[in-house]
Structure 1
Amino acid sequence: MQLIRILVVSALCLGAIAQQAAAKTMQQATGTFEVKVAPLTAEDTQDGITLGRYSIDKQFSGDLVASSKGEMLAVGTTVKGSAGYGAAERVTGALKGKKGSFGLVHRGLMGGGKQEMQVVIVPDSGSDELKGIEGTLTIKIADGKHHYALDYTLP
Protein backbone atom coordinates (compact mmCIF):
# COMPACT_ATOMS: atom_id res chain seq x y z
CA MET A 1 0.00 0.00 0.00
CA GLN A 2 2.86 2.37 0.89
CA LEU A 3 4.54 1.62 -2.47
CA ILE A 4 1.32 2.46 -4.34
CA ARG A 5 1.09 5.83 -2.53
CA ILE A 6 4.70 6.60 -3.43
CA LEU A 7 4.06 5.69 -7.08
CA VAL A 8 0.88 7.81 -7.22
CA VAL A 9 2.61 10.81 -5.62
CA SER A 10 5.57 10.38 -7.97
CA ALA A 11 3.26 10.20 -10.99
CA LEU A 12 1.42 13.34 -9.85
CA CYS A 13 4.72 15.19 -9.36
CA LEU A 14 6.00 14.10 -12.78
CA GLY A 15 2.70 15.22 -14.32
CA ALA A 16 3.03 18.64 -12.68
CA ILE A 17 6.63 18.95 -13.87
CA ALA A 18 5.59 18.00 -17.42
CA GLN A 19 2.80 20.61 -17.33
CA GLN A 20 5.26 23.28 -16.19
CA ALA A 21 7.71 22.30 -18.93
CA ALA A 22 4.93 22.40 -21.54
CA ALA A 23 3.80 25.79 -20.19
CA LYS A 24 7.36 27.11 -20.73
CA THR A 25 7.61 26.12 -24.41
CA MET A 26 9.59 28.75 -26.28
CA GLN A 27 7.62 30.65 -28.90
CA GLN A 28 8.80 33.17 -31.47
CA ALA A 29 7.20 36.36 -32.73
CA THR A 30 8.65 38.13 -35.75
CA GLY A 31 8.04 41.32 -37.67
CA THR A 32 9.39 44.80 -38.28
CA PHE A 33 9.45 48.07 -36.41
CA GLU A 34 9.96 51.73 -37.04
CA VAL A 35 11.98 53.72 -34.53
CA LYS A 36 12.40 57.42 -33.80
CA VAL A 37 15.33 58.46 -31.64
CA ALA A 38 15.58 62.08 -30.46
CA PRO A 39 18.10 63.78 -28.16
CA LEU A 40 16.78 64.62 -24.69
CA THR A 41 19.87 66.60 -23.72
CA ALA A 42 22.79 68.12 -25.57
CA GLU A 43 25.66 65.69 -26.08
CA ASP A 44 28.48 66.22 -23.61
CA THR A 45 32.05 65.56 -24.81
CA GLN A 46 35.14 65.58 -22.60
CA ASP A 47 38.48 63.84 -23.11
CA GLY A 48 37.17 62.28 -26.35
CA ILE A 49 34.24 60.57 -24.65
CA THR A 50 30.75 61.68 -25.70
CA LEU A 51 27.70 61.08 -23.53
CA GLY A 52 24.19 61.36 -24.88
CA ARG A 53 20.64 60.79 -23.63
CA TYR A 54 17.84 60.03 -26.11
CA SER A 55 14.13 59.21 -26.26
CA ILE A 56 13.01 56.10 -28.12
CA ASP A 57 9.60 55.73 -29.80
CA LYS A 58 8.83 52.51 -31.69
CA GLN A 59 5.93 51.09 -33.66
CA PHE A 60 6.00 47.28 -34.00
CA SER A 61 4.12 45.33 -36.67
CA GLY A 62 3.86 41.63 -37.41
CA ASP A 63 3.25 39.18 -34.57
CA LEU A 64 3.77 42.04 -32.10
CA VAL A 65 1.40 44.93 -32.79
CA ALA A 66 2.54 47.48 -30.26
CA SER A 67 4.19 50.78 -29.49
CA SER A 68 7.00 51.46 -27.09
CA LYS A 69 8.48 54.40 -25.26
CA GLY A 70 11.89 54.43 -23.69
CA GLU A 71 15.18 56.14 -23.02
CA MET A 72 18.72 55.39 -24.09
CA LEU A 73 22.08 56.43 -22.67
CA ALA A 74 24.99 56.24 -25.10
CA VAL A 75 28.77 56.60 -24.89
CA GLY A 76 30.89 57.35 -27.96
CA THR A 77 34.67 57.45 -28.34
CA THR A 78 37.11 59.10 -30.72
CA VAL A 79 37.53 55.75 -32.52
CA LYS A 80 35.02 55.48 -35.38
CA GLY A 81 32.71 52.52 -34.80
CA SER A 82 33.36 52.20 -31.06
CA ALA A 83 30.43 52.97 -28.77
CA GLY A 84 28.15 51.55 -26.12
CA TYR A 85 24.58 52.04 -25.02
CA GLY A 86 22.01 51.01 -22.47
CA ALA A 87 18.28 51.50 -22.85
CA ALA A 88 14.97 50.71 -21.18
CA GLU A 89 11.57 50.72 -22.81
CA ARG A 90 7.94 49.83 -22.10
CA VAL A 91 6.15 47.91 -24.87
CA THR A 92 2.34 48.12 -24.93
CA GLY A 93 0.04 46.31 -27.36
CA ALA A 94 -0.75 42.75 -28.42
CA LEU A 95 1.57 39.79 -28.89
CA LYS A 96 -0.09 37.22 -31.16
CA GLY A 97 -3.44 38.59 -29.99
CA LYS A 98 -2.63 38.64 -26.26
CA LYS A 99 -2.88 42.17 -24.88
CA GLY A 100 -0.63 43.73 -22.28
CA SER A 101 2.68 45.42 -21.61
CA PHE A 102 6.21 44.42 -20.70
CA GLY A 103 9.58 46.06 -20.16
CA LEU A 104 12.76 45.60 -22.18
CA VAL A 105 16.36 46.42 -21.23
CA HIS A 106 19.14 46.80 -23.82
CA ARG A 107 22.91 46.51 -23.63
CA GLY A 108 24.98 47.15 -26.74
CA LEU A 109 28.69 47.44 -27.51
CA MET A 110 30.60 48.07 -30.74
CA GLY A 111 34.33 48.12 -31.29
CA GLY A 112 37.11 46.52 -33.26
CA GLY A 113 34.69 45.52 -36.01
CA LYS A 114 32.56 43.52 -33.56
CA GLN A 115 29.05 44.20 -32.31
CA GLU A 116 27.10 42.63 -29.50
CA MET A 117 23.60 43.44 -28.39
CA GLN A 118 21.42 41.93 -25.73
CA VAL A 119 17.75 42.85 -25.30
CA VAL A 120 15.91 41.05 -22.49
CA ILE A 121 12.36 41.16 -21.18
CA VAL A 122 12.43 42.53 -17.62
CA PRO A 123 11.39 39.77 -15.18
CA ASP A 124 7.89 40.22 -13.71
CA SER A 125 7.14 43.18 -16.01
CA GLY A 126 4.36 41.52 -18.03
CA SER A 127 0.81 42.75 -17.47
CA ASP A 128 -2.69 41.54 -18.36
CA GLU A 129 -2.52 38.59 -20.81
CA LEU A 130 1.30 38.93 -20.97
CA LYS A 131 1.77 38.41 -17.23
CA GLY A 132 4.71 36.07 -16.61
CA ILE A 133 6.32 36.66 -20.02
CA GLU A 134 10.05 35.92 -20.24
CA GLY A 135 12.44 36.08 -23.16
CA THR A 136 14.83 37.94 -25.42
CA LEU A 137 14.54 40.17 -28.48
CA THR A 138 16.92 40.08 -31.43
CA ILE A 139 17.18 43.05 -33.78
CA LYS A 140 18.44 42.83 -37.35
CA ILE A 141 18.70 45.71 -39.82
CA ALA A 142 18.43 44.66 -43.47
CA ASP A 143 17.79 46.83 -46.51
CA GLY A 144 17.31 49.84 -44.23
CA LYS A 145 14.48 48.14 -42.31
CA HIS A 146 14.46 47.06 -38.65
CA HIS A 147 13.40 43.44 -38.07
CA TYR A 148 12.80 41.75 -34.72
CA ALA A 149 12.56 38.19 -33.45
CA LEU A 150 11.08 37.88 -29.97
CA ASP A 151 11.79 34.49 -28.38
CA TYR A 152 9.50 34.17 -25.35
CA THR A 153 7.58 31.97 -22.97
CA LEU A 154 4.25 32.57 -21.28
CA PRO A 155 2.84 30.55 -18.41
Structure 2
Amino acid sequence: MQAILESRPTAATPRMLKIGQLAARSGLTARNLRFYADAGVFGELPRSAKGYRLFPQEAVQWVRVLKASQAAGFSLDEVQELLRALRQDSAPCAHVREALGGKLSALEAKLSEIQLLVEILRITLGTPDGQSSALGCNLMETLLAEAQRLPARA
Protein backbone atom coordinates (compact mmCIF):
# COMPACT_ATOMS: atom_id res chain seq x y z
CA MET A 1 0.00 0.00 0.00
CA GLN A 2 2.86 2.39 0.81
CA ALA A 3 4.39 1.98 -2.71
CA ILE A 4 1.05 2.89 -4.32
CA LEU A 5 0.80 6.08 -2.27
CA GLU A 6 4.34 7.10 -3.16
CA SER A 7 3.65 6.91 -6.92
CA ARG A 8 0.64 9.22 -6.70
CA PRO A 9 1.18 12.94 -7.21
CA THR A 10 1.11 15.06 -4.08
CA ALA A 11 1.26 18.78 -3.47
CA ALA A 12 5.05 18.44 -3.36
CA THR A 13 5.23 16.43 -6.61
CA PRO A 14 3.06 18.03 -9.30
CA ARG A 15 1.29 15.72 -11.72
CA MET A 16 3.09 15.37 -15.01
CA LEU A 17 1.33 14.97 -18.35
CA LYS A 18 1.99 12.28 -20.91
CA ILE A 19 2.13 13.39 -24.52
CA GLY A 20 -1.43 12.26 -25.29
CA GLN A 21 -2.77 14.23 -22.34
CA LEU A 22 -0.89 17.35 -23.44
CA ALA A 23 -2.15 16.86 -26.99
CA ALA A 24 -5.75 16.71 -25.76
CA ARG A 25 -5.33 19.85 -23.65
CA SER A 26 -3.29 21.90 -26.12
CA GLY A 27 -4.83 21.13 -29.49
CA LEU A 28 -1.55 19.96 -31.02
CA THR A 29 -1.12 16.39 -32.16
CA ALA A 30 1.19 14.04 -30.30
CA ARG A 31 3.29 13.91 -33.47
CA ASN A 32 3.71 17.72 -33.45
CA LEU A 33 4.54 17.68 -29.76
CA ARG A 34 7.19 15.00 -30.35
CA PHE A 35 8.69 17.14 -33.12
CA TYR A 36 8.88 20.20 -30.86
CA ALA A 37 10.22 18.15 -27.93
CA ASP A 38 12.88 16.54 -30.14
CA ALA A 39 13.85 20.01 -31.43
CA GLY A 40 14.40 21.10 -27.83
CA VAL A 41 11.67 23.73 -27.82
CA PHE A 42 10.41 22.60 -24.41
CA GLY A 43 13.85 22.16 -22.90
CA GLU A 44 14.95 19.00 -21.15
CA LEU A 45 11.95 16.80 -20.37
CA PRO A 46 11.92 13.96 -17.86
CA ARG A 47 10.79 10.49 -18.84
CA SER A 48 8.69 7.96 -16.99
CA ALA A 49 10.05 4.60 -15.91
CA LYS A 50 8.64 3.20 -19.16
CA GLY A 51 10.38 5.89 -21.24
CA TYR A 52 7.40 8.15 -21.94
CA ARG A 53 8.04 11.87 -22.19
CA LEU A 54 6.58 13.72 -19.24
CA PHE A 55 5.47 17.34 -19.48
CA PRO A 56 4.80 19.66 -16.56
CA GLN A 57 1.35 21.21 -16.26
CA GLU A 58 2.85 24.50 -17.56
CA ALA A 59 3.44 22.83 -20.94
CA VAL A 60 -0.15 23.71 -21.89
CA GLN A 61 0.87 27.37 -21.56
CA TRP A 62 4.11 26.69 -23.43
CA VAL A 63 2.09 25.40 -26.38
CA ARG A 64 -0.08 28.54 -26.29
CA VAL A 65 3.11 30.66 -26.38
CA LEU A 66 4.45 28.50 -29.21
CA LYS A 67 1.32 28.95 -31.33
CA ALA A 68 1.05 32.70 -30.69
CA SER A 69 4.76 33.26 -31.35
CA GLN A 70 4.71 31.34 -34.61
CA ALA A 71 1.60 33.24 -35.71
CA ALA A 72 3.51 36.47 -34.99
CA GLY A 73 6.32 35.35 -37.31
CA PHE A 74 8.84 33.94 -34.87
CA SER A 75 11.05 31.09 -36.06
CA LEU A 76 11.28 27.85 -34.11
CA ASP A 77 14.68 28.88 -32.73
CA GLU A 78 13.22 32.21 -31.59
CA VAL A 79 10.26 30.44 -29.96
CA GLN A 80 12.67 28.11 -28.18
CA GLU A 81 14.58 31.11 -26.83
CA LEU A 82 11.35 32.79 -25.65
CA LEU A 83 10.21 29.64 -23.86
CA ARG A 84 13.64 29.20 -22.30
CA ALA A 85 13.41 32.74 -20.92
CA LEU A 86 9.93 32.10 -19.55
CA ARG A 87 11.07 28.87 -17.87
CA GLN A 88 14.43 30.00 -16.51
CA ASP A 89 14.77 33.80 -16.29
CA SER A 90 13.93 35.43 -13.00
CA ALA A 91 12.67 38.49 -14.95
CA PRO A 92 11.63 37.18 -18.39
CA CYS A 93 9.72 40.29 -19.44
CA ALA A 94 12.89 42.14 -20.45
CA HIS A 95 13.88 39.26 -22.71
CA VAL A 96 10.38 38.96 -24.16
CA ARG A 97 10.17 42.74 -24.74
CA GLU A 98 13.50 42.68 -26.58
CA ALA A 99 12.42 39.76 -28.77
CA LEU A 100 9.05 41.36 -29.57
CA GLY A 101 10.72 44.69 -30.35
CA GLY A 102 13.19 43.01 -32.68
CA LYS A 103 10.41 41.14 -34.47
CA LEU A 104 8.39 44.36 -34.82
CA SER A 105 11.37 46.18 -36.35
CA ALA A 106 11.97 43.34 -38.81
CA LEU A 107 8.30 43.25 -39.82
CA GLU A 108 8.16 47.03 -40.24
CA ALA A 109 11.21 46.88 -42.52
CA LYS A 110 9.61 44.09 -44.53
CA LEU A 111 6.34 46.05 -44.73
CA SER A 112 8.19 49.10 -46.09
CA GLU A 113 9.83 46.92 -48.72
CA ILE A 114 6.50 45.38 -49.69
CA GLN A 115 4.90 48.82 -49.96
CA LEU A 116 7.72 49.93 -52.27
CA LEU A 117 7.27 46.78 -54.40
CA VAL A 118 3.52 47.48 -54.69
CA GLU A 119 4.25 51.04 -55.78
CA ILE A 120 6.78 49.87 -58.37
CA LEU A 121 4.34 47.33 -59.81
CA ARG A 122 1.54 49.91 -59.97
CA ILE A 123 3.79 52.35 -61.83
CA THR A 124 4.96 49.60 -64.17
CA LEU A 125 1.41 48.44 -64.89
CA GLY A 126 0.45 52.07 -65.59
CA THR A 127 2.93 52.16 -68.45
CA PRO A 128 1.28 51.88 -71.87
CA ASP A 129 2.12 48.82 -73.94
CA GLY A 130 4.60 49.37 -76.69
CA GLN A 131 7.62 47.96 -78.39
CA SER A 132 9.72 51.05 -78.71
CA SER A 133 12.23 49.95 -76.14
CA ALA A 134 15.37 47.91 -76.68
CA LEU A 135 13.73 44.99 -74.81
CA GLY A 136 10.64 45.09 -76.99
CA CYS A 137 8.29 45.95 -74.14
CA ASN A 138 7.81 49.33 -72.47
CA LEU A 139 6.57 47.69 -69.30
CA MET A 140 9.86 45.85 -68.81
CA GLU A 141 11.81 49.08 -69.36
CA THR A 142 9.71 50.77 -66.70
CA LEU A 143 10.20 47.85 -64.31
CA LEU A 144 13.97 47.97 -64.80
CA ALA A 145 14.03 51.71 -64.16
CA GLU A 146 11.83 51.46 -61.06
CA ALA A 147 13.71 48.45 -59.66
CA GLN A 148 16.72 50.70 -59.14
CA ARG A 149 14.82 52.15 -56.16
CA LEU A 150 14.94 48.77 -54.40
CA PRO A 151 17.64 48.13 -51.80
CA ALA A 152 20.52 46.00 -53.01
CA ARG A 153 20.20 42.32 -52.09
CA ALA A 154 23.04 39.98 -51.32
TM-score, normalised to structure 1, is: 0.27
Structure with the bigger percentage of strand = 1
Structure with the bigger percentage of helix = 2
Larger radius of gyration: 2
